[in-house]
Structure 1
């Protein structure tokens, strides 16, 4: 078996702060960044994609939207009540949570669009968690029009299908 890949690099385009490139084992793919581009001092709601070495924490996928993508990352099938807490006043800030289906949440993981059909949570502000420093930095699917994210890194579905099976369980995304 081939050696699994441990390093992914994300760099912003010099021409557009919301566009970038993801490089994995010498192969480069286009990616989309947050509306504020790359930031050093990340804050909740600023639209920036944080610079740093962020471990890949697992693979979350909607099983009703396609077959499971093989990966060495820990897997969780996204359920309708799954969400991510981005409320700085909540003790569960920057953690996965369960929400009643009749309760709204900006970070509900089951969305009508396909952005969160495949999600890799990145290890941002999770050891220790600092309220207000930013939550839910994901590597997820991009919009068809390539518009910016709220601070995440986004790619097309084919990139996930090509890259995820080759990654180590301990892979790290270096953004900068």
Structure 2
């Protein structure tokens, strides 16, 4: 685990496209485009669910992650985790939480520890998801190096989704990449 934490931040500098323009991926679309909590869905398919935090720190928002709601250079709390089902890594997640969004009861989002951000978000009645994008991730990217460190064999491009959420009009962004062997690749829908 220590080696994994040394890899932080992994980052996700990929070409995100609107979910509306996503290719038809029979096995994956049901997972990529699912509007509900990925954490809740993963928990339905396993006995033991675990969040392993790779790291969390404040940094400036980079150009490839900036948008109309989270600006280039804005100070954001970056959090990267791996979600496990029955001790098998299924998802790498990277969250950007602008410091201006971490006010009021949202301050607690900066102190989640091993708790899933998705679980907290989807229990908040003020949550709304506005933008969903998807990306195909080539084996040359660092997230695939992470997969290899997790003893996962990367034999194909990976897929991920990125969502822009708002809680009480405060933006935050969550990107999730399905790691090799994740149920999203194995299950026929």
Q: Same fold (TM over 0.5)?
A: no
Q: What is the TM-score normalised by the length of structure 2?
A: 0.27
Which protein has the bigger helix share? 2
Q: What is the TM-score normalised by the length of structure 1?
A: 0.29
